[in-house]
Amino acid sequence: MVNKQIIDNYRELALSLGASDFAHSGDTVYIVVDRERLRGLAEALYWKKNCYFRTCAATDETKINGFLALYHIFGDDRNGLNIVVKTYTEPNNPVIPSISDIVPAADWCELEAYDLVGVEFSGRKLYRFMLPPTWPKGLYPLRKDTPYNYRPGLPVSGERISESPVSAVVPVGPYHPALHEPEYFELYVEGEKVVDVKYRGFHVHRGIEKLAETRMTYQQINFLAERICGICGFEHSVCYAQTVEKAAKIDVPERALFIRSIVLEVERIHSHLLWIGVAAHLLGYDTGFMHSWRIRELVMYLAELLTGSRKTYGINLIGGVRKDINEEKKKKILETLELVEKDFKKLVDTMLGVPELVKRLKGTGILPREEARKLSVVGPVARGSGLDRDIRRDLPYAAYSYAEFKVPVYDDGDNLSRLLVRVDEVLGSISIIRQLLDQLPRGEIMAEDIEIPEGRIATSSVEAPRGENVHFIITGRGKPYRWRIRAPTYQNIPALKIMLEGENLADAPLTIASIDPCFSCTDRIYVIRGGNRYRMILPRRY
Amino acid sequence: MMGKLGFVKILVIAAEAGRVTRKYPYEPPLVSSDFRGKIEIDETKCIGCGSCVLACPPNALVMSDEGEGYRVLKYFVGRCIFCWRCIDVCPVDAIKGTREFELATDNVEDLDEAVIHKRASCTECNGLYSTVKQKAYVMEKAPITENYVDKCPECRRNKLLRAFEKRRGGESLE
Amino acid sequence: MIEIAGVSILVALFIPTLLDGVERKIRARIHSRIGPPILQTWYDVLKLFGKDFFVPANAVHTVMLLFMSLAIQILLIGYTCIAVVAPITPYDLVVIAVLAIISQAAFISIPLTIANPFSIIGASREIVLMLVNEGAFLALVGLYAYYTGITAFSSIGGASPTLYTLLTIFALYIFSYVASSRIPFDIAEAEPEIASGLLIELSGPLLGVFLYTLHLKRFFFKLFASLLLLALFIKTGALLLASSIVLTIVLWLVYAVIANILGRSRVDLASITLLKAYLVIIALSVLGYFLEV
């Protein structure tokens, strides 16, 4: 487990910087700090301790202690630690100093906290981020006194393309031309060169967090969590379940953990195959697209056999899984994997031999290592830019500590690097599944006696195909008091501005797709009905 | 191996793979043995206890009291996410999963199913409570007297309170 | 003789769209799919003609140019077919080349008249590519005429195949591939990048006309290169025309396969690569002529 020395170091650091409380449980360190001392602590954690930033979660705790609270979640991946920094503020004057100039990665979540919980951040520009501009002032959807089904009658209005006197504006969206998801990028071009980028997202808020906090039960939320993302939903449901299990200290049977890991890796394979197909399509290589998806189909069939459904597997519950793997299925998995591995290797070999493809992947959409670190990007985007981080290895969950695997890291930060990371990961996943099937322990797949006490806090992460999912939960009665979800794309979109500037217009869709964006998971929080002439501007270059 | 012309190998891959799409709906679809499809409720077994309604994540199963003494369990396939949690929790195995997924229809009413239960009536106040079948199920499973189960929860509580009162009253008399 | 030309014209007007259907079938086969029926492209075009006639905003010129482009394309095919069996002027080759350039110019002006950023980007990409491609076309036809002395199909008797002539014809085939805007040279309509670029505002009958013109264009450039190639071997006009059409059909299928094993290029990459290729071939050919290889 975590070295005691490291915890002591954190305790010393926190107390020397004026933390008022320090606690440690499992892989998580909890620090409570006054508003005035928050910036100092954040700087020490992010730059001196070299922690990544995971997300922040604002919570309305007026019913518990009369305060609003803000939890900043940092991650010391090298030492396998989550660091939760809590700051209180009064509901009638909810001001907390912003850390987004020290920790650029905190930019989005601060705006989100401002929009949805009404926490004001001093020392930064605040603007409407998720909610439409016509949303009533002072109405904060995630405050506990706002009913979940309250709908302020907002006028439906359209958005116009911006006009620029200097450069031509090329709209990409409101549907991504290849991923067919709602997003909107405005590319400002001179000739075929992109000179500026604006992003407007959050068209598809679904109010998932609010829904779970108000009208669902712990076990029902597993199925809701699975629907956060259409491609990597299972990661969210595992992440939710294991966060609750961690909070309630539930012992999950080993066999269930193995099954979770196996299914997670099946999902990673099909997700990466999907992405490789889409990338080929964007490069005009439809043959590669079709064959990638042909191979993916074998994996989808396997997923259905293992779980009962091609997608939205629905086998997770708090305490374990619902469907076991028998010998016959084990054999089928191994057979399919062999076919997939053989076909996939051949296809990748061939694809990387197509001259135009390599020419257009290499050296485009570059994200330098330092920028990647500043923005705490996750997943293949981080690994393609030379950041060696993978939650499966750094904070092992499910059954990953039983498998050996290499985390692929490429240093060029271009589209080719991100492609190669994904290619390596597919092969890695195949090997992980084989190892885990080999060691699959006997026993139950569901814990008995599931009791979830109130008022416990936990955070945990799952390495989804796109990067780490972070879930943060404060338990409540029969349902979570607060459930905060951070999808990987949320962390990666800000990096797009850096990747796209100076880029060729022709490479923009590929570069946007290269982070494997999942706009709907990013946008999960609240319902938006229209919005006009409102733009979200990507963070400045720091 | 073929150097710069390696990409031509895709033709070999295509030839090996053959034709993988199917002339669906003229050919049967590829659905595995474990596929979770629409559920079927056996109305002869269902006792109207409502466990499935509590477990159902998307509220595809709802229960309501309707008309004169009826309790209706409604299943709307349009909302169903085919998770089969209802099957897990049903105490009498009244719900069965099928592999059916071709549910498109031009008539939305085709997507509705309902099981109608007669509600039990209280022998004391004639008020309606639970369902007749659930009452029978409880009597079969638990050693409770018919006299007790025959009453609605409210009458049961009143009876209990009266019993307490009587005992206390008796004590004070003595 | 003129009947043969007439039949050829009818074939040349019907078969390109059919060949596109075959191409889709081939693509499907390479994708391991079933794919649509062979007549699908014809069904598509006919269906488009049955749709509402919708003119995009401020695009009256577009309609004019579109029909002009179709008319020139038909004229071009008609003229070529007749000129092969019954030469019209002593400089038929020049007339055909000029008509071809005009038809290309009309074709590329279509998207430029539509006020849509994607359309304009598509058109500007096509123009960059065309500057290289058309320039090469004129140079190659000029070289061919100079080497062989063929300026009309009445003078095919004396020509004989030489290596440097064959080189120019090879380059003409590259030209015909690029002009057919197939992958990797379909950068002007790149679907995922610029949402079909030059096609974006066209719908209904206008799209039908555009597609049909595109098919004719693809057919014509292959036919033209084939005619010049076979003129070196076959000396009777009717036989030359018939065999060229057969060769064009075969080529179409070959092109279909090539288009499906490559990825899309980028406008800067494509034009530079193409320019280099043309310059090398032309240089080799001229060198060959002076060394009499």
pLDDT reading at A192 higher than 80: no
Could you tell me if residue B163 is inside a domain? yes
Task: Kindly report the CATH number assigned to the domain that includes residue A52.
Answer: 3.30.460.80
Q: Give the pLDDT score at B173.
A: 45
Q: What is the mean pLDDT of chain A?
A: 87
Q: Give the pLDDT score at B174.
A: 40
Q: Give the pLDDT score at A160.
A: 64
Quote the CA–CA distance of A415 and A384 in Å, as a whole number.
8
C76-111 pLDDT, tens digit each = 998 988 888 888 888 888 888 989 988 888 888 887
Quote the CA–CA distance of A177 and C192 in Å, as a whole number.
5
| Interface check C95 vs A, CB under 8 A | no
C263, A282: Cβ pair inside 8 Å? no
What is the arithmetic mean of pLDDT over A149-156? Answer: 80
B14, A287: Cβ pair inside 8 Å? yes
| Cα–Cα distance list, A509 to A200, A365, A514 (Å) | 16, 10, 8
Task: Judge if A308 and A408 occupy the same domain.
Answer: yes
Q: Give the pLDDT score at A46.
A: 93
What is the arithmetic mean of pLDDT over A484-500? Answer: 89
H/E stretch holding C143: helix C117-148
Enumerate helices (H) and strands (E) in chain A, giving the number of each: 17, 15
Chain C residues lying within 8 Å of B25, measured CB to CB:
none
Strands, sheet with B61-66, edge to edge from the N-terminal-most edge strand: B61-66, B70-76, B112-118
Q: Give the pLDDT score at A534.
A: 32
Instruction: Say which residue the tokens 């794919």 belong to.
Output: C35
Q: Give the pLDDT score at B159.
A: 84
Q: Can you give the residue range of the structural domain that contains A93?
A: 4-122
Could you tell me if residue A134 is inside a domain? no
Task: Judge if B109 and B145 occupy the same domain.
Answer: no
Model confidence at B88, pLDDT cuts 50, 70, 90, reads very high
What is the arithmetic mean of pLDDT over A44-66? Answer: 92
H/E stretch holding C247: helix C237-260
Q: Can you give the residue range of the structural domain that contains B43?
A: 33-118
Task: Give chain C's domain count.
Answer: 1
Of B7, B11, B19, the CB nearest to C33: B19
Model confidence at B144, pLDDT cuts 50, 70, 90, reads confident
Task: Give chain B's domain count.
Answer: 2
Chain A residues lying within 8 Å of B4, measured CB to CB:
353, 355
Task: Kindly report the CATH number assigned to the domain that includes residue B63.
Answer: 3.30.70.3270
Task: Judge if A475 and A330 occupy the same domain.
Answer: yes
DSSP percent split of chain A into helix, strand, coil, nearest 5: 40, 20, 40
Could you tell me if residue B4 is inside a domain? no
Q: Can you give the residue range of the structural domain that contains C205?
A: 2-291
Which 3-state string (H, E, C) describes C157-222? CCCCCCHHHHHHHHHHHHHHHHHCCCCCCCCCCCHHHHCCHHHCCCCHHHHHHHHHHHHHHHHHHH
Task: Judge if B37 and B102 occupy the same domain.
Answer: yes
Tokens found for residue C261: 């094993």
| Cα–Cα distance list, A341 to A292, A344, A509, A515, C156 (Å) | 12, 5, 28, 24, 58
| Interface check C235 vs A, CB under 8 A | no
Q: What is the mean pLDDT of chain B?
A: 86
Task: Decide which of A77, A94, A122 is a domain's last residue.
Answer: A122
User: Are A222 and A411 contacting, i.e. CB atoms less than 8 angstroms apart?
Assistant: no
Q: Give the pLDDT score at A177.
A: 60
Q: State phi, psi for A158 to the nearest 5 degrees.
A: -100, 175
Between these two residues, C167 and C56, which has the higher pLDDT value?
Answer: C167
Quote the CA–CA distance of A484 and A72 in Å, as a whole number.
12
Tokens found for residue A398: 């499910």
B23, C30: Cβ pair inside 8 Å? no
pLDDT reading at C193 higher than 70: no
Pairing label, strands A81-89, A95-97: unpaired
A170, C269: Cβ pair inside 8 Å? no
Rg of chain A on CA atoms, in Å: 23
Task: Decide which of A122, A138, A163 is a domain's last residue.
Answer: A122
ipTM reported for the complex, 2 dp: 0.85
Quote the CA–CA distance of A249 and A233 in Å, as a whole number.
24
Task: Judge if B40 and B114 occupy the same domain.
Answer: yes
Q: Give the pLDDT score at A537.
A: 32
Q: Which residues sit opposite B75 in a β-bridge?
A: B61, B113
Task: Judge if B105 and B43 occupy the same domain.
Answer: yes
**C2-30 helix and C60-85 helix, angle to the nearest 10 degrees:** 120
Q: Give the pLDDT score at A429.
A: 95
Task: Kindly report the CATH number assigned to the domain that includes residue A277.
Answer: 1.10.645.10
CA distance B16 to chain C (A): 9
Quote the CA–CA distance of A512 and A507 in Å, as a whole number.
9
* Chains touching C (3+ CB pairs < 8 Å): A, B
Q: Give the pLDDT score at A157.
A: 64
Burial class, A404, CB count within 10 angstroms (exposed 0-12 / middle 13-18 / buried 19+): exposed
Could you tell me if residue A193 is inside a domain? no
Q: Give the pLDDT score at C247.
A: 92
Could you tell me if residue B156 is inside a domain? yes
Model confidence at C191, pLDDT cuts 50, 70, 90, reads low
What is the arithmetic mean of pLDDT over B20-35? Answer: 87
What is the arithmetic mean of pLDDT over C6-16? Answer: 86
Q: Which residues sit opposite A486 in a β-bridge?
A: A470
Could you tell me if residue A220 is inside a domain? yes
Between these two residues, A532 and A439, which has the higher pLDDT value?
Answer: A439
CA distance C34 to chain B (A): 6
Please state, as a whole number, how many other Cβ atoms lie within 10 Å of the Cβ of residue A428: 22
Quote the CA–CA distance of B163 and B147 in Å, as a whole number.
15
Question: Hey, what amino acid is at A292?
Answer: S
What is the arithmetic mean of pLDDT over A480-509? Answer: 87
Could you tell me if residue B5 is inside a domain? no
Quote the CA–CA distance of B46 and B117 in Å, as a whole number.
9
Could you tell me if residue B99 is inside a domain? yes
Between these two residues, A193 and A2, which has the higher pLDDT value?
Answer: A193
Best residue in C264, C271, C276 to probe A by mutation, most A CBs within 10 Å?
C264
Dihedral over alpha carbons A452, A454, A455, A461 (to 10 degrees):
20
What is the arithmetic mean of pLDDT over C4-33? Answer: 89
Could you tell me if residue B14 is inside a domain? no
Helices (H), A17-160: 35-43, 107-116
Task: Judge if A101 and A219 occupy the same domain.
Answer: no
A212-250 pLDDT, tens digit each = 998 899 999 999 999 888 888 899 999 999 999 999 999
Pairing label, strands A81-89, B120-121: unpaired
CA distance A330 to chain B (A): 14
User: Are A259 and A322 contacting, i.e. CB atoms less than 8 angstroms apart?
Assistant: no
Task: Judge if A81 and A221 occupy the same domain.
Answer: no
Could you tell me if residue A321 is inside a domain? yes
Question: Hey, what amino acid is at B103?
Answer: L
User: Are A98 and A38 contacting, i.e. CB atoms less than 8 angstroms apart?
Assistant: no
Would you tell me which residues 46-65 of chain B have a C-beta closer than 8 angstroms to some C-beta of chain A? 54-58
Chain B residues lying within 8 Å of C29, measured CB to CB:
14, 19
Task: Decide which of A89, A122, A155 is a domain's last residue.
Answer: A122
pLDDT reading at A511 higher than 90: no
| Interface check B142 vs C, CB under 8 A | no
What is the arithmetic mean of pLDDT over C137-161? Answer: 82
Task: Judge if B174 and B155 occupy the same domain.
Answer: yes
C30, B8: Cβ pair inside 8 Å? no
B21, C34: Cβ pair inside 8 Å? yes
B104-121 pLDDT, tens digit each = 999 988 899 999 999 988
Quote the CA–CA distance of A389 and A306 in Å, as a whole number.
29
Could you tell me if residue A355 is inside a domain? yes
Please tell me the least confidently modeled range out of A16-30, A211-225, C262-276. Answer: C262-276
Quote the CA–CA distance of A280 and A288 in Å, as a whole number.
6
Closest residue by Cα to residue A499 from A374, A382, A366, A400: A366
Q: What is the mean pLDDT of chain C?
A: 85
Task: Judge if B42 and B56 occupy the same domain.
Answer: yes
pLDDT reading at A261 higher than 90: yes
User: Are A365 and A94 contacting, i.e. CB atoms less than 8 angstroms apart?
Assistant: no
Q: Give the pLDDT score at C278.
A: 87
Task: Give chain A's domain count.
Answer: 2
Could you tell me if residue A318 is inside a domain? yes
H/E stretch holding B65: strand B61-66
Question: Hey, what amino acid is at A447?
Answer: A
Could you tell me if residue A127 is inside a domain? no
A306, B30: Cβ pair inside 8 Å? no
pLDDT reading at A176 higher than 70: no
Could you tell me if residue A31 is inside a domain? yes
